Structure 1
Amino acid sequence: MDYNWLRDFKYNGVQIPLMDRQRGIRKPAGMQAALAIRTTFTPPGGTPPYADSIGPDGLQRYKYRGDDPNHAENRALRRAGELKLPLIWFVGVAEGVYEPIYPVWVVNDEPAQLQFALAVDPAQRFLSPAATSDPDSRAYVERLTKARLHQRVFRTQIMLAYETRCAVCALRHDSLLDAAHIIADGQPDGLPVVPNGLALCKIHHAAYDGRILGIRPDLTLHVREDILAEVDGPMLRHGLQEMHDQRLMAIPKVKAARPDVDRLERRYQAFLAS
């Protein structure tokens, strides 16, 4: 979503800006509580503030405005939690462009840490601390958080960086494209950030994860030897075998958004070892 559209939003003919550039917590005049929260865009080389803000219960955290729990914006967000009102979370994915995460809810206030706990999925709304003390339950809650927030934002950023094209074959059909990790989520450096990602069509994503296809640090492709020797139909021949030693067909124009060389090297060594 474009910032200008959010600023000029109208409901029943009345302009109600959903965002302004000066505030992370948005409470329109006349409303009892906050309507929206915002996280600014982090350039490709940086780590977004939400990436390492999952609590021990698997829920996402959102920091207060400043260090005063009674700041007007913090009170507005706290009130949204008290009233159990849904919020819109606008996460910056490019300069002036936001991915809306809706609905989210404030489910706990943590003044000692200057933050709120958020539910980003309805299944998280009524969890008690005891419910997430079990490791399996906690892992389930965290998976929901990553799917609803981290991976969704990651996909949007990857598609913007690669202009909705598969890095390997340049296929442009959005519904057939995935945001693939170079280093898997949960591993060191496996963050959902653009330099750790590639836009891949579903065939090439599966081939990459299945160690049929490797990507060298110089952005050329390596198809496994036994696959090169197979005889099959046109998909194998044109979609995989002919890609061997070819260079990626689509890479981001912005240098900082291109695949991280160190991550590519680690992934490529794992491919060779297989």
Structure 2
Amino acid sequence: MFTDAGRVPDDFDNRLRTAAFAWLTSRTLQRTGNLTYSAIQSFVFEGHTIPLKDRVKGIWKPARLSSALSITTTYRPPGVVRPYDDLIHEGDGLLRYKWNGIERDEATNRSLRSAMQSGVPLIWFFGVGKGVFNPIFPVYVVGEEEENRQFILDADPSAIGEHEEGVAEQFLRRYLKVETRHRLFQAVFRGTVMRAYQGRCAVCRLQHGQLLDAAHIVPDRDEDGVASVVNGMALCKIHHAAFDVGILGIRPDLVVQIRSELMHEIDGPMLRYGLQEMHGKRIVVPSARAERPRADLLERAYERFRQAG
């Protein structure tokens, strides 16, 4: 890991971040995509255990790095204010992350500023439950708003360097930025929904994370499509698709309905067991009442289902 002189090799930072991202990718393919604090602390790199986040501090820089490796947003139950007001801005879709403390030159703030200057990628651990985090990566520090004591982070690597480009390139660039920032919202949404539904489909109870989606009850493009767990359900890909095209509906009383014409069709086992036998069953919802689907949103979605039939 170190040279004879005791220095960290020049490519150590890059190798560590690359290995950490690969490790997180493999770990988050399982069930919910979320990790416990103890799991996050078990990362091993070149024979050494290196924590990927700090237990207390929001900004984490391992001793061997010159720039921060990760940031953490603490979980708070619905209605409880977070100690730091970290949020994704509705206007530009960028994450605002508060300084640690109020001093600009706090060591942790300097490490995040160093990450901005060097353009290195970081991990954002978003708290979705007590001691449970959804890792979102890579993210980049692209600016600082000193008057608000906060950094600006983006999931778009092109944001860390500007260059001259033609009209077509500018259009493509703007499109990719919108898509990338949309994914930032979706990563937070998915992590929260998967934790609330314990990594299982609300309709059929399937628990394979690779086959689960965080589905919006009312589409997020809709004015009422709130980016909150109350507008979401964990659905397997079959039931998500069926819900979106109006084959499967969910009544406000949480009972599944299948379009009547499909109930009389004869086809393979997927139609029979995957759809027809779900008719009339009650979906599984989060144990916390504050995280269950909102009745008015279910009513809107169910009206859409009735019209589709």
Report the TM-score range of the alignment, normalised by the length of the smaller protein. 0.7 to 0.9
Instruction: Tell whether 2:307 aligns with 1:273.
Output: yes
Cα pair 1:161 1:252 within 8 Å, conserved = yes
Give the TM-score normalised by the residue count of structure 1. 0.82
Partner of 1:173: 208
Residue of 211, 219, 233 corresponding to 1:198: 233
**Contact 1:51–1:150 (Cα < 8 Å) also in 2:** no
Matches within 5 A, 1:27-66: 27-29=61-63, 31-44=65-78, 52-56=88-92, 58-66=93-101
Number of the residue aligned with 1:262: 296
- d(CA) in 1 for partners of 2:233, 2:130: 20
Q: Residue 86 of structure 2 contacts residue 98 of structure 2 at CA under 8 Å; is this kept in 1?
A: no
CA distance in 1 between counterparts of 2:102 and 2:79 reads: 27
Output one character per residue of 1:100-133: Cα deviation in whole Å (capped at 9) or x when no partner: 223222122222343322232434433579999x
Say which is worse superposed, 61-70 or 160-169, in terms of deviation. 61-70
CA gap of 1:207–1:71, structure 2 versus 1, over 3 A, is same
Name the counterpart of 1:187. 222
Secondary structure of 2:127's match? strand
Q: Please give the secondary structure, in 2, of the residue aligned with 1:218.
A: coil
Q: How far apart are residue 16 of structure 1 and its match?
A: 4.6
Distance 2:211 2:69 in 1: 34
Q: Secondary structure at the match of 1:23?
A: coil
CA contact 2:250–2:302 (8 Å) conserved in 1: yes
Distance 2:177 2:142 in 1: 14
Q: Hey, what does 1:73 align to over in structure 2?
A: 108
Given the superposition, is the C-alpha separation of residues 7 and 167 from structure 1 closer, same or farther in structure 2, using an over 3 Å criterion?
closer
Structure 2 vs 1, CA of residues 13 and 169 (structure 1 numbering), >3 Å: closer, same or farther? closer
In structure 1, the residue matched to 2:122 is 87
2:293, 2:141 → 1: CA distance? 35
Work out the percentage of aligned pairs sharing the same amino acid. Answer: 47
Q: Please list the CA deviations of residues 180-238 of structure 1 after superposition, one character each: whole Å capped at 9, or x if unmatched.
A: 11121233342343222111111111110001111011100122233334443332233
Please identify, of 116-125 and 180-189, the stretch whose mean Cα deviation from structure 2 is larger: 116-125
Name the count of aligned residue pairs.
271
Query: 1:54 Cα shift?
Result: 4.9
Partner amino acid for 2:211? L
- Pair 1:146-2:179 in alignment: no
Preserved CA contact (<8 Å) 2:248 2:257 = yes
Give the letter aligned to residue 288 of structure 2.
V
Matched residue, 2:19: none
CA contact (8 A) 1:162 1:252 kept: yes
> Contact conserved, 1:59 with 1:141, CA < 8 A, in 2?
no
Deviation at 1:141, TM superposition (A): 1.1
SS in 1 for 2:226: coil
- Give the AA of the match of 2:193: I
Structure 1 residues 25 and 173, CA, compared in 2 at 3 Å: closer, same or farther? closer
Distance change >3 Å, CA 234–CA 114, structure 1 → 2: same
Residue 253 of structure 1 aligns to a residue whose secondary structure is coil
Deviation at 1:240, TM superposition (A): 1.9
Equivalent residues of 1:2, 1:98 under 8 A apart: yes
Provide the C-alpha distance between the structure 2 equivalents of 1:270 and 1:136, rounded to a whole number of angstroms.
Answer: 33
